[in-house]
C-alpha cells in the first residue's frame, strides 16, 4: 500500500495547519478507497532545532538523535503533501528547516501542496517547489490554495468552499499516479556521498 505523509508545516501557536491537514487526510482517505494510507506528520511533535548538523545532508546522513528519528519517519513514505501557510511570501521556517535536515529520504518521491493564506500561499508554494527540485522530488502540478478571506470565518474557523473537495481529489489522483511511476527510481536512489 502506498504511504503518504501529510506534513503540517507550521508549529506556530494558534496555527490553522492542523485543521487543514486533518481535512486533507479525511478527503484523501475517502477518495483513495483503501489503495493508500495517509498519515499526519506534525512538525511540532519532532522538536527539530534550527539545523544543527555539521555536514550537509546531501553529503552524509545526520548524526544527531533528532535527525535520525526524523529521517526514519520521513523515509517510510512514498509521497508527501505539504500543508503550508504563507508568512511574508514564504513558507514557515519550521518547514524549510525540517526539509533541509534530510536529502536521500526525499529523493524520487512526489510532493503536492495545500497552502493557506491571504492569497492561498501561492508564493510560499513556489519557493517549496524550487526546494523540491534540488532534492530530486517530483513536484506535481495540482495545488489547493485556501484563502483566509473565503475559506475561513473571521480568519479563524476553517470552513473550506466545496470547490476544494474536487481539487483535493485531483491532487490525490496525480500524487498516487506519480508515486507508482517513480517506484523504480526510489529503489535506484544514488548512494549518499561521504566527505573526503
* CATH code of the domain covering residue 179: 3.40.50.360
Query: Is 196 inside any structural domain?
Result: no
Contact 147, 155 (CB under 8 A): no
What is the domain extent for residue 135?
2-187
Asked whether residue 194 is domain-assigned, the answer is no
Q: Is residue 118 part of a domain?
A: yes
The answer to whether residue 27 sits within a structural domain is yes
Per-residue pLDDT of the chain (196 residues; tens, 9 = 90+): 999 999 999 999 999 999 999 999 999 999 999 999 999 999 999 999 999 999 999 999 999 999 999 999 999 999 999 999 999 999 999 999 999 999 999 999 999 999 999 999 999 999 999 999 999 999 998 899 999 999 999 999 999 999 999 999 999 999 999 999 998 877 665 555 444 4
Specify if 195 maps to a domain.
Answer: no
Q: Residue 148: inside a domain, yes or no?
A: yes
Q: What is the pLDDT of residue 166?
A: 98
Does the residue 140 lie in any domain?
yes
**What pLDDT, on a 0 to 100 scale, did the predictor assign at position 186?**
72
Q: What pLDDT is recorded for position 185? A: 78
Could you tell me if residue 55 is inside a domain?
yes
Question: What's the pLDDT at 39?
Answer: 98
In terms of pTM, does the model score above 0.85?
yes
User: Domain count of the chain?
Assistant: 1
Q: In the beta sheet, which residues pair with residue 147? A: 117
Burial track 62-96 (b if 16+ CB lie within 10 A, e otherwise):
beeeebeebbebbeebbbbbbbbbbeeebbbebbb
Amino acid at each position: 500500500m502506498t504511504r503518504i505523509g501529510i506534513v503540517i508545516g507550521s508549529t506556530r501557536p494558534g496555527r490553522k495547519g492542523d485543521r487543514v491537514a486533518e481535512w486533507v487526510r479525511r478527503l484523501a482517505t475517502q477518495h483513495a478507497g483503501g489503495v493508500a494510507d495517509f498519515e499526519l506528520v506534525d512538525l511540532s511533535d519532532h522538536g527539530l532545532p534550527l539545523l544543527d548538523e555539521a555536514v550537509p545532508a546531501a553529503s552524509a546522513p545526520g548524526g544527531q538523535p533528532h535527525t535520525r528519528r526524523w529521517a526514519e519517519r520521513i523515509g517510510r513514505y512514498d509521497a508527501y503533501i505539504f500543508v503550508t501557510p504563507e508568512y511574508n511570501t514564504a513558507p514557515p521556517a519550521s518547514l524549510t528547516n525540517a526539509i533541509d535536515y534530510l536529502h536521500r529520504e526525499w529523493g524520487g518521491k512526489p510532493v503536492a501542496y495545500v497552502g493557506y493564506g491571504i492569497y492561498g500561499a501561492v508564493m510560499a508554494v513556489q519557493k517549496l517547489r524550487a526546494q523540491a527540485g534540488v532534492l530530486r522530488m517530483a513536484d506535481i502540478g495540482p495545488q489547493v490554495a485556501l484563502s483566509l478571506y473565503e475559506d475561513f470565518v473571521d480568519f479563524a474557523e476553517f470552513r473550506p468552499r466545496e470547490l476544494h473537495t474536487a481539487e483535493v481529489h485531483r491532487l490525490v489522483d496525480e500524487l498516487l499516479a506519480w508515486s507508482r511511476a517513480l517506484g523504480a527510481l526510489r529503489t535506484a536512489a544514488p548512494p549518499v556521498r561521504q566527505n573526503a
